Structure 1
Amino acid sequence: MTRTVKWLSGPLNTGKWAAVLAIATAYSLQKDAFLRTLARTVRWADLDNPRAFRKRDKASRVNCWTLPVHLYDRALFDAVETMRRWILAAIAQTHIEGKLFRMFEGRQRRYAFWLLRKFVRIGAVLRGEAPEPQFAIALAERQAVVRLLRRLLRKALGKAPRVHLRRSFALDNTLYRFFTHQGKPYLSIASLVPGQRIVIPLKGFPVPAVTGNVRVVIDPLQHTVAIHVPIPVRVKTLPERREPVVVGLDAGVTEVFADSRGHFYGEGFGLVLDRLSAQTTTQGAERNRLYAAAKTLAASSRPEDRQKAGRIRRYNLGRMKLDARRARGQAEVKRRISEALREVLRSRPDVLVMEDLSRMRGRTKSRHLSRVVSRWMRANLKERAEFLAQAGGSRLETVNAAYTSQECPQCDYVHHNNREGDRFHCQRCHFTGHADTVGAVNVARRYTHPELWERIRVFTPKEDVLKILREIFERQKARCT
């Protein structure tokens, strides 16, 4: 298991900066050429086997930008990975798997998910073909699945990715070398001129021995680069237990988490989100006012008004400070989430159970809450949870969290009146508790309860979830009477 850390350089002189910029430009142009080739769905078999793509490309290689051979190969593999991420992100963000799960059953559902397992099959679907699997399914059933899946994919994918910013390039271990001279770290990388290397001075202390691929990201404003270096992470080993310790987590906007044991983590998180939301609202209103003034002045016939409009756009509507302020806010949100997750993992649970966060998008009842939740979502909570849980030796499971805040953990009664704000009060058995901890308990039950785990999947519609919960409640009620 590895993590990526940034290693910053000092300012580069004119010659080194021009050489690094030339590499980034040539690499980006070559990668863009590969992306144009891979945009055709008939070439998507290469996404499943990039080594075969590289081997076949050797015979007809046209290196228009005089890249070193290994850097040329890195551009090829980088383009393949970009295409893969583009396709997988489109499928995940538009919830295509959930829609297929609801639309089909039995063999058709199996066939739909079989199509999504290989990029060559996805490309065939986009061309209107219906690949034949190894299991039995009629042609008419295959074509029905392909028609729906093709429509969903075409709507989700949009335009194929291209390289718009020439600011980074990847290097394998034959193209770089870290070394120290008089106690200071340096990075030596291959240039476009055969036999010549570019020596980049680095800040800080030497990192441990680096192997594998690294990425160089350039900063055009500061004339510096950042080296993204993979560093191995030591994974902790949990003690052996007779029964696994399962902890449910409920993510909130007043604190980061509440768990199924009644603990709260990251208290004060809501104040940070409120402050960032208010800051965004105030800055947005002020910038809108200035933008309207600049637009009015630019349309004026007086030269001094048009000059004033230019000054407003140049000195008051820039994005450098705005982007830096937003980056600081997002970094603070991410830091608080990481701290809360580390607190949860100090108890060393075997399994962490969280709600499926990928479906929590869209507007809420208030603009303020929508903005707050948007900040919260952009912090990449799921990615941080996966990384820290794995590093801590725990396993992360996601469940469908529909009605977890309205279900009584004692009698299984589900009603929207059970929750009012942060207070939970069951309308049937009068059980009371904090709504977030009750939600965390129910999130954990979705994993530990065999029937709930079997019947309620992540893609199960909330209407079906409610039917299942009411069915279980009525069965429990009849058993008690």
Structure 2
Amino acid sequence: MKESEIEVFVWRNTAPNKKEEQLIYCVQNLILDSLGHKKLALEETSKMAMMHWKSVIAEAKKNLAHTLKRFNDQDRHYACWLLCGINRQFFELLDGRIPVPNPEVSFDRNYCLSYDRTLSPKTLRSIAGIVRRTVNRVRRESVCYPRTKAFHNRIDFDTSCYTVRSTEDAQFLELMSLQPGKRISLRLKGRSKIRGTLQLIRDTAGTYSLRVYVPQECEAQRKTGTVIGIDLGYTEMMATSEQELLGTDLGQYFSAISDKRRKNSEGRNRMYSLFRNLLKKSGKDKLAKAERIRKNNLGRKKQRARYIRDIGVIKTIVNRELNLLFTRRKNPIKEIVVEDLSARMKVHFGKKWNRRLSGWMRGYLQERIRYKAKKFGIEVSEVNPAYSSRECPRCHCTDKENRQGNSFKCSRCGYHGHADLVAALNILGRLGDKEIRIGMPPSRVKAVLDGRYVGWKSLNHTVSDKTSGVARVVNESPRSASSKSELRSNVQVCIASR
């Protein structure tokens, strides 16, 4: 079961009356200002605090990964015990104390007391100091505590904060207000089943939407079908290992939106500079002109509305292509293999392309793929994407000259094709690969691929230079999960025979 949000109605205010003004005041103020919403505010605050501390612990573990390699097993387990969750020893560490494992607690014993010798106080103090300094540095530089904004565009209503009333003509929703005993009555567009906690959202265009969470049933896990690899791209939405390109017009929308926002920003920056210069001058005419510029040229209402409209077009394309892919009747899909894009991009392509890639929305693509796959009962597997666009599916060569834009041509064996389609083949081939794992650094991945290229080269030389009269055939088709293992076994046999 998965929860998804749907819009129940959209209510636009043209000339606000007294009830609408009261609703706007209720939405804009902090949730804590309303006595009836204290329970929801406390729940939301506790969730925000829990997510903050979980993010701090995860980032601290990542920063300590290199340091922990120099510790022995017992010291490493003690450091991991300090960061095993939001519990007693973690907050004792933040208070400046040195947490000591309790031998009476099985949880502590499983982490730290499975060795013969106990840690000395000096060792405990040293390790706790390293972990504490790392956590403080993470809190200071990487994961800062979220700050409360003065303006909120969302307010939550649980089942005790609203009532639903239906008549023959329409359906009404009565929401709790700041005044005791008085509720705000809203007329819904259409009839819907209202249940659970509601969210009332007001966007910058002055439109109100009510969102209700409803349970959505997922299909059973598919047991029959094909397994395909997917490579996410910028110019095309994705390429599959079945040699198909989906969403070929998505890159044009990304570039058009980025260039249009850049052009508008340049104009706004010029007007803002003129606005600041006019404020420094004296005279009523200068101040009046500055006020006109601020009112007519520096607003964000229309800018935000245009951006929401452009992003809506992109989201429509993404959902349409995924629905067509996952619901096809001919050759249905049982499992998809995608690249792990959780790491941040560290490559810089110039100011123009960096701006375009920042609006790529790859996080939305990954979220939609997981959501749609779970909805239709398709399994999702992630693999390491390092050098997937430069690796040759035939000889595993990773030369930089292999890829030129969207064209791929191997500089060693001559294999050629579309770069994204080649990457999709490589991603599918890495499913179940025990040598290339998720999280492995690119340098180690390149070392593995270089070893496979040497094996492929020696295999071809062995076959061509053999002296026996028995003819042998070398399979040089793009590798799959099965042909890859056969190729490795053939390499070992040929090397041993030489």
**TM-score of the pair, normalised by structure 2:** 0.77
1:102–1:460 CA contact under 8 A, matched in 2? no
Deviation at 1:264, TM superposition (A): 0.8
Q: 1:104 aligns with which of 68, 71, 94?
A: 68
Matched with 1:5 is: 6
Q: 1:377 aligns with which of 351, 361, 374?
A: 361
In 2, distance between residues paired with 1:235 and 1:413?
A: 42
Measured against aligned partners, the alpha-carbon deviations of 1:247-288 in whole angstroms (never above 9, x if no partner) come to 221111111001111111101112111211221121112112
Deviation at 1:338, TM superposition (A): 1.9
SS at match of 1:261: coil
1:166 equivalenced with 2:142 (yes/no): no
1:230 equivalenced with 2:213 (yes/no): yes
2:56–2:138 CA contact under 8 A, matched in 1? no
Matched with 2:163 is: 177
Deviation at 1:374, TM superposition (A): 1.2
Q: 2:141 aligns with which of 135, 139, 155?
A: 155
Instruction: Note closer, same or farther for the CA distance 1:162–1:350 as it changes in structure 2 (3 Å cut).
Output: same
Deviation at 1:89, TM superposition (A): 5.7
Instruction: Note closer, same or farther for the CA distance 1:435–1:356 as it changes in structure 2 (3 Å cut).
Output: same
Amino acid at match of 2:46: V
Matched with 1:16 is: 19
1:304 equivalenced with 2:290 (yes/no): no
Amino acid at match of 1:427: S
Rg larger for? 2
In 2, distance between residues paired with 1:165 and 1:309?
A: 26
Instruction: Note closer, same or farther for the CA distance 1:165–1:398 as it changes in structure 2 (3 Å cut).
Output: farther
> Which fold has the larger relative contact order, with Cα–Cα distance below 8 Å and residues 6 or more apart in sequence?
1
Q: 1:206 aligns with which of 170, 191, 198?
A: 191
Matched with 2:255 is: 274
In 1, distance between residues paired with 2:77 and 2:377?
A: 32
Deviation at 1:320, TM superposition (A): 1.0
- Bigger drift between 249-258 and 372-381 goes to 372-381
Matched with 1:357 is: 341
Measured against aligned partners, the alpha-carbon deviations of 1:69-99 in whole angstroms (never above 9, x if no partner) come to xx3211111111223344556777xx65554
Measured against aligned partners, the alpha-carbon deviations of 1:1-34 in whole angstroms (never above 9, x if no partner) come to 12111232354964433543565467x352xxxx
Matched with 1:136 is: 112
Q: 2:86 aligns with which of 111, 119, 124?
A: 119
Instruction: Note closer, same or farther for the CA distance 1:112–1:386 as it changes in structure 2 (3 Å cut).
Output: farther
Matched with 2:46 is: 80
Instruction: Note closer, same or farther for the CA distance 1:167–1:246 as it changes in structure 2 (3 Å cut).
Output: same
- Bigger drift between 436-445 and 161-170 goes to 161-170
How many residues were matched structurally?
Answer: 433
In 2, distance between residues paired with 1:221 and 1:430?
A: 56
Matched with 1:451 is: 435
1:83–1:161 CA contact under 8 A, matched in 2? no
Amino acid at match of 2:335: V
Amino acid at match of 1:171: F
- Superposition RMSD in Å: 3.1
Matched with 1:252 is: 233
In 2, distance between residues paired with 1:262 and 1:220?
A: 43
In 2, distance between residues paired with 1:201 and 1:282?
A: 41
In 2, distance between residues paired with 1:73 and 1:425?
A: 62
In 1, distance between residues paired with 2:221 and 2:196?
A: 29
1:6–1:229 CA contact under 8 A, matched in 2? yes
In 2, distance between residues paired with 1:471 and 1:85?
A: 43
Amino acid at match of 1:397: S
SS at match of 1:158: coil
Matched with 1:215 is: 199
Measured against aligned partners, the alpha-carbon deviations of 1:205-258 in whole angstroms (never above 9, x if no partner) come to 222x34322212245874x632111122231235423xx733221111111001
Deviation at 1:126, TM superposition (A): 4.1
Instruction: Note closer, same or farther for the CA distance 1:215–1:377 as it changes in structure 2 (3 Å cut).
Output: same
1:406 equivalenced with 2:390 (yes/no): yes
Amino acid at match of 1:466: K
Instruction: Note closer, same or farther for the CA distance 1:16–1:152 as it changes in structure 2 (3 Å cut).
Output: same
1:290–1:312 CA contact under 8 A, matched in 2? yes
1:397 equivalenced with 2:381 (yes/no): yes
2:54–2:85 CA contact under 8 A, matched in 1? no
Instruction: Note closer, same or farther for the CA distance 1:342–1:90 as it changes in structure 2 (3 Å cut).
Output: farther
In 1, distance between residues paired with 2:21 and 2:295?
A: 28
In 1, distance between residues paired with 2:398 and 2:452?
A: 10
Q: 1:419 aligns with which of 367, 380, 403?
A: 403
1:191 equivalenced with 2:177 (yes/no): yes
Matched with 2:444 is: 464
SS at match of 1:358: coil
**TM-score of the pair, normalised by structure 1:** 0.79
Matched with 2:304 is: 323
In 2, distance between residues paired with 1:10 and 1:365?
A: 43
In 1, distance between residues paired with 2:47 and 2:34?
A: 22
- Bigger drift between 110-119 and 369-378 goes to 110-119
Instruction: Note closer, same or farther for the CA distance 1:252–1:89 as it changes in structure 2 (3 Å cut).
Output: farther
- Bigger drift between 16-25 and 464-473 goes to 16-25
Deviation at 1:128, TM superposition (A): 4.9
Deviation at 1:322, TM superposition (A): 1.1
In 1, distance between residues paired with 2:366 and 2:56?
A: 17
1:101–1:109 CA contact under 8 A, matched in 2? no
In 2, distance between residues paired with 1:216 and 1:426?
A: 56
